[in-house]
Amino acid sequence: MTDERTQVVIIGAGPAGLLLSHLLHLAGITSVVLEDRDRAHIENRVRAGVLEHGTTEILEQVGVADRLHREGLVHEGIELRFDGVGHRIPMTELTGRHITVYGQQEVVKDLLARRLADGGDVRFEVADVQVHDVDTAEPSVTYLAGGVRHRVVGDVVAGCDGFHGVSRAAAGDTLHHLDRTYPFAWLGILVHAVPRTHELIYASHQNGFALYSMRSPEVTRLYLQVGADEQVESWPEDRIWDELALRFGLDGEPWDPGRGEIFDVGITPMRSFVTEPMQRGRLLLAGDAAHIVPPTGAKGMNLAVHDALLMSRAIEHWYSTGEETLVNSYTTDALARVWRAQHFSWWMTSMLHKFPGDDQFQHRLQTAQLANVTGSRAYATALAENYVG
């Protein structure tokens, strides 16, 4: 086994892990990033695409937003569509802030390019990652690469390896998991087509929810609510397009979403999940390793970025002062934002989706809530504040 030492060992080269490594580098703190996939995989896996105003500001401040400003799509509002009528929520008018549509894989490309240009230590295709001794002053991570076992010792291990990663399991039964599974899923498609609208459309329909989004001036991203156990094979292209047209309908007529070549189809389960605490000893968790939110609120990547920022500040404060105050309060500081995002995502989900059964009482409540949100400046401002961050 090879042995080496760094200050922070980071597991996972997603947005949280790469941003954390970059922030630590700017503070003069060394790190090693371990990733079980290859570079091409992490740079091309399609994930979230909405950046809060504050997330964009963070990326600007750390010098990785040049391409984002060139290619990102700035949105100053969203549309809520129900009962065949569209209602715009003017987010920038209400809050002075906006969102930017820019794919998570693009953020990863920008962060990774910067880390490698700065001499960052990012190791791909590592296997059998294991976390050790998190309750001691010298936690370590071991892994296999090139047929050799390696061991990296640090002062802190940052678990940024997602919901299915090894980090959360390494904390054992000291963590408490709170979760909720929703009785539906999202079928998502990526389409080579010029978007028909300049802002996102959230549609509530008697057949279920639909979302019109985009990834670039040439690529649209659309979602349909489907059953929790639905299979992609049950949704041929014609059925997808017909259902989208129906759910986005205006004034009793189908609305053409702009057909094009579908080049990616997938089904995403809907769930909420929070780990409390988000740390054990010298192991700190960030992003999907600690929490999952329904995508309706567009909060997943934004929470990961915020976790990385809090964690970097805590670690930098510890090294500069010798005090572990911010490290010890990391969970409390992070969860305040996590639970607010969980509530907003749950609220958007429960307001816009069709729940199992023909519950007309529930439907009337949802319609009344949508009418309140679109008819009241106070309600609309509350939605806008949460959406832009």
- Give mean pLDDT, residues 19-33: 98
**pLDDT, tens digit, 9 for 90 and up, residues 41-79:** 999 887 778 999 999 999 999 999 999 999 999 999 999
Which CATH class, in words, describes the domain spanning 184-270+358-388? alpha beta
Predicted pLDDT of residue 23: 98
Sheet holding 73-75, edge to edge: 50-51, 99-101, 73-75
Q: Indicate if the pLDDT at residue 129 is higher than 90.
A: yes
Cα separation values, 383 from 96, 241, 295, 317, Å: 14, 29, 15, 34
Quick one: pLDDT at residue 165?
A: 95
pLDDT in tens, 37-46: 999 999 988 7
Q: What percent of the chain has pLDDT over 90?
A: 95
The predicted structure's pLDDT at residue 338: 98
Domain 2-49+103-175+277-345 maps to which CATH number in 3.50.50.60, 3.30.465.10, 3.40.50.920, 3.40.1190.10? 3.50.50.60
In the predicted structure, residue 324 carries a pLDDT above the cut 90: yes
Question: What tokens were used for 180?
Answer: 């909720």
For 191, half-sphere exposure in the C-beta direction (CA atoms, 13 angstrom radius) is 21
> Which positions are catalytic?
75, 202, 295, 299, 387
Structure tokens at 360: 């007309």
Q: Give the mean pLDDT of 16-38.
A: 98
DSSP H helix total and E strand total for the chain: 13, 21
Task: Tell me the per-residue pLDDT of 89-100, one tens digit each, with 9 for 90 and over.
Answer: 999 999 999 999
Kindly report the pTM of this predicted structure: 0.96
How does pLDDT run across 247-304, given as a tens digit for each residue? 999 998 999 999 999 999 999 999 999 999 999 999 999 999 999 999 999 999 999 9
pLDDT of residue 359: 84
> Cα separation of 166 and 148, whole Å?
20
| Mean of pLDDT values over 19-34 | 98
Cβ atoms of residues 289 and 273 within 8 Å:
no
| Cβ-contact 159, 168 below 8 angstroms | yes
Is 382's pLDDT higher than 90? yes
Domain ranges of the chain: 2-49+103-175+277-345, 184-270+358-388
pLDDT given at position 204 = 97
Mean pLDDT of the chain: 96
Q: Helix 300-321 and helix 330-352: axis angle, to 10°?
A: 170
The pLDDT value recorded for residue 254 is 95
